[in-house]
Structure 1
């Protein structure tokens, strides 16, 4: 089974999703012979034996080996890692949309845990935790000196148990937030009618995404009393999920044809994934909302709709995770699984968005312009991130040439300026004109 995820998996158990950020550079050496490899394995065994006999406290062999495997894999890229048997079971629960946890995507920056995004319908989201927050303490103990995995393990726990984290936020005093871990049975698709325009939000691409979208379309048609006048599809802060779900969701808007392609090492193992024929929303105007935390499967859907000229993409440049991970069970899962980056993915136009993200057709900010240059957290910022093989695409954007539509200074961000602009485009009829301009 293949996953196109920025975070779901590996140490994602209990609803705390983590980008691993081990900063271990691989040395450029000649390809070793088998004899060289066995000599290195002998070296590993010697080191492990010395640790077992002489380290100041007793250590467990299993934990040493697991940490060594993770060190090797995490030196490759931020998304490859070892999934131990316990986390393997939790990961399977999570992709089904049911898990125990607090619900955050996190990474590590300058020794602290940084929140990439809280997940809808979870304790973290309900407690007001925001993207960009730093976790400096867990249950009163500093996170400095801890690896990301160690910090994540301290936040994990059983349903009903609490964990207190200290949050540091720009221009605010640190504050303590107590979260109660709970079982979350998330409906990842929500919908409503916004000022006469149907609106559907997909918060994650687990196994419920495509069925939930189809159900939402059916119900919105019933409420409207016919075909939809347009649709706003919201994948902001959506970290991604299952590759097959991104294909099925795209099929609602595309009548066959390519959604995404993937390529392995040296361009090998080329695979193309097509939308199913018979789109559910033929000729319905579609605007996709994205932001800096839209990643992976979210970017596949947005990129396919954009490249195929099927709709407009509105918001801010997305996260830029353009790699595919394969989950490889070890001994049928009894020894856990290997989560390994095996392919890059490409939009229908052949674009790799690795590290660069999807640029919207219309740049619209969610917050007023304060005159500051706010750097976005992107895939390219993660240690050991795979480079985009297209050097021109990987160049930084010239922000001076990017025209961003900011909300007024007194605008209440809770009113969602990006969504308002999308609804106005569809209602005013300017959607068709803007789409035609992009296609010419």
Structure 2
């Protein structure tokens, strides 16, 4: 059968991985009436047939534990409220996203984004603003959670934020009135080269609509492609995941298959998909609804998946409020879901198209994939190398390279092992120990490198170097700038990340 998620059943369906902790049974949870209701619910809905010995346990906690399922649990009234709050999409505050950034040797909570229509947005708070005090209390070196706890409060009350802004002559204080905020679980902004970025750390009940609005806003601003960041997204509402996938999956095509004990359900796209270059960022903390979206996009080839394997939480939980215990509930695994092509996700995860371990490199390669698609290049013909001379690390197509030597910074010049360059270029490297001359051949180009010289011979041209080639720990090192002399190679230095990116087409 084919249904929409909202028609799946009368139960509240959620896909949560890391948001809850196992509780101890609350008072009254083991009354005969509660035990009967829980037993009937499990017997009727659990994904697998349940042994009678499991149901004979004399407490709810023991029954749930005997199932051996990490995602099924009893929820006390307090935990049930926390669950509803965590995915409801609302909180009381001023509506902004913060991160910790260093300034003058001290970490300060710094604004990443403000939510549309929020008190923070209306007050003119902008990304990059440092919150140096809340109600007169310094936030220097304080955690984000602590600062957020100072900012949140009762709706209608005032909170005073002292802001340090680079363009302001001195710190200043703004007065904000706390409101019930619709959580901006979705944030969007325009990156360089008109690449749209959408970040969503959770699938709340409103996330699907928020993603659609973000996509429309970025397209209206003239973006050439979109990066959807699902890293560290543990899931949330199934319907929100379906709505997000519908933005990109062809109309009428399956988004996922839900396989229960009694019936199998296919959920199809009812949306009008956009056609735009797309990259989706994932990692080992992407789970549940995030995996549904990534799996569907991958199966239909409507976007490139960049990052590392996802968590592999491919089961569906139903949360039913108990009639016999006020405000308590049971969360129970009722089904497993598969990708549109029937690929198993539970315990396996979604495998990226571009395996990239380093978080900074993940975003850079996603940008490259989107931009290449927008410019009509074949992504398969691209080879990237990311170099971090401060950490001494190198990644080729997202895979960390070892054994070839480490890049380093020498008086603001990035020095790279010649062997690493040879590996990246897939060229031939020859070394004459007597003359201390290396020859690197790549395609139609040939570079002759003399150790100690501040120039190299590339084909018929003499190319000056910012520093001479040198031998360090038995390896020949050359300035990275040498690669700019090879046809089809593009070298870019990111002054913020202090990393170099090399692209070969």
The reply to whether TM is greater than 0.5 is: yes
Instruction: Name the CA distance, whole Å, in 2 between partners of 1:238 and 1:352.
Output: 19
Cα-to-partner distance string for 1:231-262 (whole Å, 9 max, x where unaligned): 11110010111000000001110122110111
Once the 2 structures are TM-superposed, how far is the Cα of residue 223 of structure 1 from its aligned partner?
A: 2.0
Is 2:378 the counterpart of 1:433? yes
Name the structure 1 match of 2:247: 252
Cα-to-partner distance string for 1:328-381 (whole Å, 9 max, x where unaligned): 1111872511100010000001011111111101111226xxxxxxxxxxxxxx
Once the 2 structures are TM-superposed, how far is the Cα of residue 219 of structure 1 from its aligned partner?
A: 1.9
Rg (Cα) greater in structure: 2
Q: Do the aligned partners of 2:226 and 2:279 also contact (CA within 8 Å) in 1? A: yes
Instruction: Name the CA distance, whole Å, in 1 between partners of 2:312 and 2:75.
Output: 24
CA 1:322–1:37: 2 relative to 1, 3 Å: closer
Aligned with 2:190 (options 188, 193, 207): 193
Aligned with 1:86 (options 69, 73, 78): 78
Aligned with 2:363 (options 411, 419, 425): 419
Q: Do the aligned partners of 2:196 and 2:225 also contact (CA within 8 Å) in 1? A: yes
Q: Do the aligned partners of 1:7 and 1:79 also contact (CA within 8 Å) in 2? A: no
Q: Do the aligned partners of 1:10 and 1:339 also contact (CA within 8 Å) in 2? A: no
Name the structure 1 match of 2:227: 232
Runs of 4+ displaced beyond 6 Å: 30-33, 122-128, 175-178
Is 2:281 the counterpart of 1:289? yes
Instruction: Name the CA distance, whole Å, in 1 between partners of 2:199 and 2:365.
Output: 16
Name the structure 2 match of 1:391: none
Instruction: Name the CA distance, whole Å, in 1 between partners of 2:240 and 2:247.
Output: 11
Once the 2 structures are TM-superposed, how far is the Cα of residue 10 of structure 1 from its aligned partner?
A: 6.3
Once the 2 structures are TM-superposed, how far is the Cα of residue 275 of structure 1 from its aligned partner?
A: 1.3
- 2:221 alignment partner, SS class: helix
Instruction: Name the CA distance, whole Å, in 2 between partners of 1:426 and 1:333.
Output: 52
- 1:331 alignment partner, SS class: coil
Aligned with 1:351 (options 324, 329, 343): 343
Instruction: Name the CA distance, whole Å, in 1 between partners of 2:304 and 2:195.
Output: 15
Q: Structure 1: where are the runs of 5+ without partners? A: 13-29, 45-67, 102-119, 129-159, 161-174, 368-415
Once the 2 structures are TM-superposed, how far is the Cα of residue 327 of structure 1 from its aligned partner?
A: 0.4
Once the 2 structures are TM-superposed, how far is the Cα of residue 215 of structure 1 from its aligned partner?
A: 1.7
Once the 2 structures are TM-superposed, how far is the Cα of residue 89 of structure 1 from its aligned partner?
A: 2.3
Aligned with 2:64 (options 59, 67, 73): 73
Q: Do the aligned partners of 1:285 and 1:431 also contact (CA within 8 Å) in 2? A: no
- 1:192 alignment partner, SS class: strand
Q: How many residues align?
A: 275
Q: Do the aligned partners of 2:372 and 2:378 also contact (CA within 8 Å) in 1? A: no
Aligned with 1:5 (options 16, 34, 37): 16
Name the structure 2 match of 1:110: none
Cα-to-partner distance string for 1:172-217 (whole Å, 9 max, x where unaligned): xxx9979537359531111111112111111110012112112212
Instruction: Name the CA distance, whole Å, in 2 between partners of 1:9 and 1:349.
Output: 31
- 1:2 alignment partner, SS class: strand
Cα-to-partner distance string for 1:51-86 (whole Å, 9 max, x where unaligned): xxxxxxxxxxxxxxxxx4234314421111011122
Once the 2 structures are TM-superposed, how far is the Cα of residue 434 of structure 1 from its aligned partner?
A: 3.6
- Show the 5 A alignment for 1:313-392: 313-331=305-323, 334-366=326-358
Query: Which is richer in strand?
Result: 2
Aligned with 1:300 (options 288, 292, 296): 292
Name the structure 1 match of 2:466: none
CA 1:123–1:342: 2 relative to 1, 3 Å: farther
- 1:246 alignment partner, SS class: helix
Is 2:263 the counterpart of 1:272? no
CA 1:10–1:433: 2 relative to 1, 3 Å: same
CA 1:31–1:89: 2 relative to 1, 3 Å: closer
Q: Do the aligned partners of 2:16 and 2:236 also contact (CA within 8 Å) in 1? A: yes
Q: Structure 2: where are the runs of 5+ without partners? A: 1-11, 24-48, 109-134, 136-140, 153-179, 383-505
- 2:346 alignment partner, SS class: coil
CA 1:309–1:122: 2 relative to 1, 3 Å: same
Instruction: Name the CA distance, whole Å, in 2 between partners of 1:317 and 1:297.
Output: 15
Name the structure 2 match of 1:212: 210
> Which of 1 and 2 has higher RCO (CA within 8 Å, sep 6+)?
1
Once the 2 structures are TM-superposed, how far is the Cα of residue 324 of structure 1 from its aligned partner?
A: 0.5
Once the 2 structures are TM-superposed, how far is the Cα of residue 289 of structure 1 from its aligned partner?
A: 0.6
